[in-house]
C-alpha cells in the first residue's frame, strides 16, 4: 500500500491480538506497515471505514454488515477477513445481587426483573455500545427470554464502552451489555452484578471480526493473506496461559505507551486462561458464514435488514447463497 495500513480498534480487551501483533513486531515480520487507531466510539470506527480514514478495523459483525450496506452514509465494499474473538459480553445490572433472585428464562427471571425494577423506582436505563451491535441483539434475546420488551419496558442508551463504568457509577444508567473487560470491572467495583453473558445467551458467537474496505483490497492484493498470518501468530500468543499476565499488562498500559489503558485486574480476570464462563476466546480460523445465522435472523426480525440486503451481504462474502435465500 502507498501508506501504512490503518486498523481501528476500541478500548476493549478483545482488541488484544491487534495490540499484541503491533507490540511484538508481528506485523513487520510479515511485511506489513500498520498504524493502530484507538477510536473513541463504534460510530467513529464505522465512519472511518466509510470515508477512508481507516483501511481495516476489528468490529462486531452487525455494525460491519450495516456499514457495508450503506447505513453509515454510503455503501462500502466492507469484507470480512477473519473472525478473531468469540463471546465475552456481559449483561450487568446496577446494585447488589439480591439473595433468592433467579434470572433464568421464564417466570423466575421475569419476577426478578420486576423486583429489581421496583428497587430502581423507574423505567430502567440500559446501555449498549451501538444501535447496530451484537450487544443489543444479546440484550434483546435475554430480556425476551424473561418476558421483558426492550422496546416497552426499558429505556435504551447508546454510549462507548469505556464510558459505561462512569455512567453506571453516576447513576445515569442502570445497567448495560458490553464487551470485556467492562462487565467484570463493574462487578469488581461493586457497581452492579452480572445477570447473564454470551456463554448463556448465545454460546460461542462471533464477537469481533477483522474487516478490510474496498480500497485496501484494491491497493494490496495479498493483504488479507499477510494479515491472517500476523493474526495467527498474535492469537497463538494471546491464548498461551504463560503470556496472560504480560498481555493484561500491555492492555493496561497508557495509550501513549502502546496500551489501551484498561483496568488490569478486570482484564487479567477475563483472559483466555481464566475460569469465568465469559472469559475471552480467541481462535485463528477461516471465516464461518454459518456462525452469523442467528445474527442475520435477529437483524431481520428487528427490521434492520431486508431480504434484498441479505443478498447484497452474500455478494460481499458475509453470507452464503443458502443463507441469502
The DSSP result for 282-318, as a single string, is E------GGGGHHHHHHHHHTTS--HHHHHHHHHTTS
Q: Is the domain of 242 the same as that of 148?
A: no
141-155, 214-228, 288-302: range with highest mean pLDDT: 141-155
DSSP notation for 85-110: EE---EEEEESPPPTT---STTHHHH
Q: What is the pLDDT of residues 67-113, one digit of tens each?
A: 999 998 788 888 888 899 999 999 999 999 988 889 999 999 999 99
State which of 140, 170, 201 marks the end of a domain. Answer: 201
State which of 201, 218, 249 marks the end of a domain. Answer: 201
Q: Is the domain of 122 the same as that of 44?
A: no
Q: What is the pLDDT of residues 183-227, one digit of tens each?
A: 999 999 999 999 999 999 999 999 999 999 877 666 656 888 899
Nine-digit cell at 90? 456481559
Report the DSSP beta bridge partners of residue 175.
Answer: 93, 126
The pLDDT assigned to 221 comes to 61
- The enclosing domain of 68 has a CATH number of 3.40.190.10
Q: Is the domain of 192 the same as that of 284?
A: no
State which of 201, 233, 265 marks the end of a domain. Answer: 201
Q: Is the domain of 211 the same as that of 314?
A: yes
Q: Is the domain of 210 the same as that of 83?
A: yes
Q: Is the domain of 109 the same as that of 189?
A: yes
Q: Is the pLDDT of residue 287 over 70?
A: no
Per the CB < 8 A criterion, the answer to whether 196 and 176 are in contact is no
Q: Is the domain of 239 the same as that of 317?
A: yes
Domain count along the chain: 2
Q: What is the pLDDT of residues 304-318, one digit of tens each?
A: 999 999 999 988 888
Q: Is the domain of 307 the same as that of 279?
A: yes
Average pLDDT over residues 296-302: 95
Give the domain range for residue 260: 5-87+205-324
Q: Is the domain of 65 the same as that of 115?
A: no
Kindly give, in sequence order, each residue whose CB lies less than 8 Å from that of residue 7, ignoring residues fewer than 6 positions away.
Answer: 18, 34, 35, 36, 37, 54, 55, 56, 57, 58, 210
The DSSP call for residue 253 is S
Q: Is the domain of 68 the same as that of 156?
A: no
The pLDDT assigned to 34 comes to 95
- Residue 109: name the closest of 79, 146, 78 by CA: 146
Of 16-30, 72-86, 156-170, 242-256, the poorest mean pLDDT is in: 72-86
Q: Does this model's pTM top 0.85? A: yes
Q: Is the domain of 224 the same as that of 245?
A: yes
Q: Is the domain of 25 the same as that of 102?
A: no
Amino acid at each position: 500500500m502507498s501508506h501504512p495500513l490503518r486498523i481501528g480498534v476500541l478500548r476493549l480487551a478483545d482488541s488484544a491480538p491487534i495490540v499484541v501483533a503491533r507490540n511484538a513486531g508481528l506485523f513487520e515480520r510479515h511485511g506489513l506497515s500498520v498504524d493502530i487507531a484507538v477510536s473513541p466510539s463504534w460510530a467513529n470506527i464505522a465512519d472511518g471505514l466509510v470515508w477512508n480514514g481507516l483501511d481495516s478495523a476489528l468490529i462486531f459483525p452487525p455494525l460491519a454488515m450495516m456499514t457495508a450496506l450503506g447505513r453509515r452514509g454510503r455503501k462500502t465494499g466492507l469484507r470480512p477477513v477473519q473472525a478473531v474473538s468469540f463471546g465475552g459480553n456481559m449483561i450487568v445490572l446496577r446494585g447488589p445481587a439480591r439473595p433468592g433472585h433467579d434470572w433464568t428464562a421464564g417466570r423466575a427471571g421475569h419476577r426478578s426483573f420486576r423486583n429489581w425494577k421496583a428497587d430502581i423506582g423507574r423505567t430502567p436505563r440500559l446501555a449498549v455500545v451501538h444501535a447496530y451491535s451484537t450487544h443489543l441483539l444479546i440484550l434483546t434475546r435475554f430480556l425476551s427470554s424473561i418476558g421483558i420488551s426492550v422496546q416497552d419496558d426499558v429505556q435504551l442508551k447508546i454510549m462507548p464502552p469505556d464510558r459505561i463504568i462512569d455512567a453506571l457509577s453516576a447513576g445515569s444508567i442502570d445497567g448495560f451489555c458490553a464487551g470485556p473487560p467492562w462487565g467484570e470491572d463493574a462487578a469488581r467495583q461493586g457497581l452492579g452484578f452480572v445477570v447473564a453473558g454470551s456463554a448463556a445467551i448465545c454460546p460461542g458467537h462471533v464477537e469481533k471480526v477483522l474487516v478490510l474496505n474496498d480500497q485496501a483490497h484494491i491497493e494490496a492484493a495479498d493483504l488479507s493473506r499477510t494479515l491472517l498470518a500476523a493474526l495467527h501468530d498474535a492469537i497463538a500468543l494471546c491464548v498461551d496461559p504463560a503470556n496472560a499476565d504480560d498481555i493484561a499488562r500491555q492492555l493496561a498500559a497508557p495509550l501513549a505507551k502502546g496500551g489501551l489503558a484498561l483496568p488490569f485486574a478486570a482484564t487479567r480476570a477475563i483472559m483466555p486462561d481464566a475460569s469465568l464462563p465469559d472469559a475471552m476466546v480467541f481462535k485463528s480460523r477461516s471465516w464461518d458464514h454459518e456462525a452469523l445465522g442467528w445474527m442475520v435472523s435477529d437483524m431481520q426480525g428487528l427490521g434492520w435488514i431486508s431480504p434484498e440486503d441479505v443478498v447484497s451481504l452474500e455478494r460481499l462474502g458475509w453470507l452464503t447463497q443458502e443463507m441469502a435465500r
